[in-house]
Amino acid sequence: MIYQHTMQTPIGELTIQSSNIGLTYVGFSPKMKYEECHNTYTRQACEQLSEYFAGLRYTFAVSFDLQGSVFQQSVWQLLTQVEYGKTNTYGWMANQLGKPKAVRAVGGANGKNPISIIIPCHRIIGANGTLTGYAGGVEKKAWLLKHEQQNKLN
């Protein structure tokens, strides 16, 4: 069974979906919509995301139920290590994964990240400092980065 909660945020409607194991999707345009039905994971995510948008939360503690290749999972895991209020590049990620020539593959895996904000793919930018694609749109990525810069602990 898939559980779903939809919440309003400063950057639009955010859909949170989970299984009995953990979050399966957090984003702005789900492939499938389900009847609103909560479980522990959707409630935790909603509470923690509300705190994040209020500038009161810098890390997340919720379980995932991610479906993806071993490479995608390694990219998503690495994303969780990019600190709140900081950015890094696709090249940095490829180097961290021991695959310095896999920059495009890293970008592709970032683009398939099913858990927006909580797995912070918005913190990854182009090598020249530009904001590159974001599933929710570059304007949402810019908002999230600005929000984190304004609220980060020094």
- The CATH number covering residue 120 comes to 1.10.10.10
Helices 103-111, 70-79: crossing angle, 10 deg rounding: 80
pLDDT score for 136: 78
- Name the domain count of the chain: 2
pLDDT score for 154: 55
The answer to whether position 26 is within a domain reads: yes
pLDDT score for 128: 84
79 lies in the same domain as 143:
yes
pLDDT score for 150: 92
Q: DSSP H helical segments within 54-134, as ranges? A: 70-79, 90-96, 103-111
Catalytic residue chosen out of the listed positions 93, 106, 117, 121? 121
75 lies in the same domain as 29:
no
Helix (H, G, I), strand (E, B) or coil at 71: helix
Which residues in the chain show pLDDT less than 50?
none
* Number of Cβ atoms within 10 Å of the Cβ of 23: 24
Residue with tokens 């949170």: 16
26 lies in the same domain as 89:
no
The answer to whether position 89 is within a domain reads: yes
Instruction: Find the helix or strand (DSSP H, E) in which 42 lies.
Output: helix 40-53
pTM: 0.92
Domain enclosing residue 77, as ranges: 70-151
Q: Is 46 a catalytic residue?
A: no
The answer to whether position 65 is within a domain reads: no
The answer to whether position 109 is within a domain reads: yes
84 lies in the same domain as 144:
yes
The Cα 57–Cα 84 span in angstroms is: 9
The answer to whether position 58 is within a domain reads: no
The Cα 73–Cα 141 span in angstroms is: 21
86 lies in the same domain as 135:
yes
Look over the chain and give the mean of its residue pLDDT values, rounded to a whole number: 93
The answer to whether position 64 is within a domain reads: no
